[in-house]
Amino acid sequence: MNPLVSIAEFLVNEILSVPAFLIGIITAIGLAALRKNTGQVLGGAVKATLGFLLIGAGAGLVVQSLAPLGLMIEGALGVQGVVPTNEAIVGIAQEQFGAQVSWLMILGFVVVIILARFTNLRYVFLTGHHLLFMATLITIVLASAHLPTALVVGLGAVLLGILMVALPALAHPWTRKITGDDSIAIGHFGTAGYVVSGTVGRWVDPKGKSRSTEDIKVPEGLRFLRDSMVATALSMVLMYLVVAIMFLVRSGAEAAFLSFADATGAGAATGIGNYLMKAVTQGLQFGISVAIILFGVRTILGELVPAFQGIAAKVVPGAIPALDAPIVFPYAQNAVLIGFISSFVGGLIGLLLLGTVFGPIFGLALILPGLVPHFFTGGAAGVYGNATGGRRGAIAGAFANGLLVTFLPALLMKVLGSFGDANTTFGDADFGWFGILIGYSAKAGLFVGTILIAGIGLVLLAAAMVVQKKFVDGRWDPAPRRVSATATSSAPTAATPTQQKKFAKLAPPAGAPKPPAPMK
């Protein structure tokens, strides 16, 4: 094998595609730029790495606890279809396009640094596995249109770099509504779903009267439900039991008892009681998984955000880390669960529409609601919807996200070439709309297709720069009638240029007599 290819694949597969290592390196660089001593640099880097490993461990437990539920839902509904799973289709594509994906990803990260340094889009995308996913999608789509390899890598790297600075900017007014400041941005390719959710939240609650999901009142005897871990676990136990009973009634005891063995590799249930208790255990494990993710997020923020001060000063002035979807979970923990359930319901409605209307008319595949994408993107969408529309926004916004992650993957399969016949596809919203745009553009031929694809990238970059200048830097509030849950600090903020003009009009003219002193 070519040594350069081997080096590229090592950097991608063993370092850049492992978020924990990438975050640790970035944290170390930032702390070193702040002139911290060796012990502080190593300690901060290790702690940041451990924080992301905690997030990964929690995510793995989420996947493990949802696997039997997905099998039972499929059996209870009695349908067969495609389950969107990013990891699965990326694994399939690596054998054919591994080298192209590797170079595209490395060059894409270089483009990110350049754009962050020399444009007003100061975002550094740090979700390493999503870099790999999007690099793979771009490679599959462009290569399936028979574009030359050099063009696939070169043009694809530019597109990847643009996406990684543009999407955090486009979502940042809504992200800032959640966090209350500019310390972090969202760096996840479900961004379209989050923007839609935040927009829908504003539509369903234009007067800001719907209370936040975090203000849900419970009777005195149910106060224990205010603990998010307890509430999440009990909600999932209830969902598991309902689906388990439906599956048992529809498919019979034998199939039901084997479902846990097929999904987890553990032994089959030995009886109805054991079957139901396995369901209870999986629901409780889900609650533990979410708690681990939240702890990991808090750990990583405690190290990474201060370290970014050094990066901002030395490499990218004013840099903002763009991080994975769970980064917003701690800001509205009830909204995460509400968003997950609402997004999943949206996925079921979308499946029904695909099976009865759009599938037969347009020849679209049935997209089964994958619980993993619905949890992570639906949970985050619930947080965004809650920030702009309270409880109504969390429900309606996440429901809209559920429809997006059902219909977009179905349409995307049309431009994946031979990979469209695989029993899986990309799941999150941005893979869908962006893959569809560049896929159909590439079908216009080498010359015209290249121009169209380059035009898409330039339009996206220009739109993000305009949004950054007018809406992010201009401090636009996507839901002005709602106060951010995190906006509890009384520290003064700088006035915008518009506010400064208003203050100037109110100021007394020069030479005007001073107002009398107040009476004591």
Task: Round to whole Å and give the CA distance between 160 and 435.
Answer: 12
- Confirm whether 267 is domain-assigned: yes
Average pLDDT, the chain: 82
Chain CA centroid to CA 389, Å: 19
Structural domain boundaries enclosing 41: 3-480
Task: Round to whole Å and give the CA distance between 26 and 408.
Answer: 33
- Confirm whether 487 is domain-assigned: no
Helices (H) and strands (E) in the chain, counts: 16, 3
Binned at pLDDT 50, 70 and 90, residue 518 comes out as very low
- Closest listed residue to residue 157, CA positions, set 133, 139, 143: 139
pLDDT, one tens digit per residue, over 471-500 is 999 999 999 888 765 443 333 333 344 444
- Confirm whether 443 is domain-assigned: yes
- Closest listed residue to residue 106, CA positions, set 25, 14, 11, 24: 11
The 3-state DSSP class for residue 114 equals: helix
Task: Round to whole Å and give the CA distance between 354 and 506.
Answer: 59
Is the pLDDT score of 519 beyond 70? no
DSSP-derived letter for residue 470 is I
Average pLDDT over residues 305-311: 67
Asked if residues 260 and 243 have their Cβ atoms less than 8 Å apart, the reply is no
- Confirm whether 308 is domain-assigned: yes
Average pLDDT over residues 306-311: 67
pTM for this one?
Answer: 0.75
The pLDDT, as a whole number, for residue 7 is: 79
The pLDDT, as a whole number, for residue 308 is: 63
The 3-state DSSP class for residue 516 equals: coil
Binned at pLDDT 50, 70 and 90, residue 16 comes out as low
What are the tokens at 333? 């923990």
Instruction: Give the angle 3-11-160 at the CA atoms, nearest 5°.
Output: 110
Q: Which residue is listed with tokens 């679209």? A: 364
What are the tokens at 255? 């199939």
Asked if residues 49 and 21 have their Cβ atoms less than 8 Å apart, the reply is yes
Task: Round to whole Å and give the CA distance between 472 and 481.
Answer: 18
- Confirm whether 485 is domain-assigned: no
Regarding predicted confidence, which is higher, 119 or 239? 119
Regarding predicted confidence, which is higher, 283 or 217? 283
Residues in Cβ contact with 2 at an 8 Å cutoff, skipping those fewer than 6 apart: none
Cα-atom radius of gyration of the chain, to the nearest Å? 24
Task: Round to whole Å and give the CA distance between 432 and 406.
Answer: 10
Is the pLDDT score of 193 beyond 50? yes
**Residue 303 CA neighbour count, 13 Å, CB half:** 27
The pLDDT, as a whole number, for residue 292 is: 81
What are the tokens at 31? 């702390």
pLDDT, one tens digit per residue, over 62-97 is 777 767 777 777 777 666 667 787 877 887 787 788
Total domains present in the chain: 1
Average pLDDT over residues 328-337: 90
Alpha carbon of 16 to those of 106, 357, 432: distances in Å? 8, 42, 23
Task: Round to whole Å and give the CA distance between 304 and 26.
Answer: 8
Q: Which of 20-24, 188-192, 268-272, 385-389 has the lowest mean pLDDT?
A: 20-24
- Confirm whether 149 is domain-assigned: yes
Task: Tell me whether residue 112 is exposed, middle or buried, using C-beta atoms within 10 angstroms of its C-beta: 0 to 12, 13 to 18, 19 or more.
Answer: buried
Task: Round to whole Å and give the CA distance between 85 and 88.
Answer: 5
- Confirm whether 503 is domain-assigned: no
Is the pLDDT score of 202 beyond 80? yes
The 3-state DSSP class for residue 86 equals: helix
SS3 percent helix, strand, coil of the chain, rounded to 5, is 75, 0, 25
The pLDDT, as a whole number, for residue 346 is: 96
Task: Round to whole Å and give the CA distance between 192 and 430.
Answer: 6
Task: Round to whole Å and give the CA distance between 480 and 141.
Answer: 40
Binned at pLDDT 50, 70 and 90, residue 331 comes out as very high
What are the tokens at 476? 């636009």
Sheet holding 320-323, edge to edge: 123-125, 320-323, 185-186
Task: Round to whole Å and give the CA distance between 172 and 468.
Answer: 8
Instruction: Give the angle 117-20-29 at the CA atoms, nearest 5°.
Output: 40
Regarding predicted confidence, which is higher, 424 or 463? 463
Is the pLDDT score of 344 beyond 70? yes
Alpha carbon of 246 to those of 2, 29, 240, 361, 501: distances in Å? 55, 53, 10, 31, 64
Q: Which residues pair with 367 in a beta bridge?
A: 82
Regarding predicted confidence, which is higher, 270 or 192? 192
Task: Round to whole Å and give the CA distance between 227 and 357.
Answer: 42
For 195, list phi and psi in degrees, rounded to 5.
Answer: -65, -45
- Confirm whether 501 is domain-assigned: no
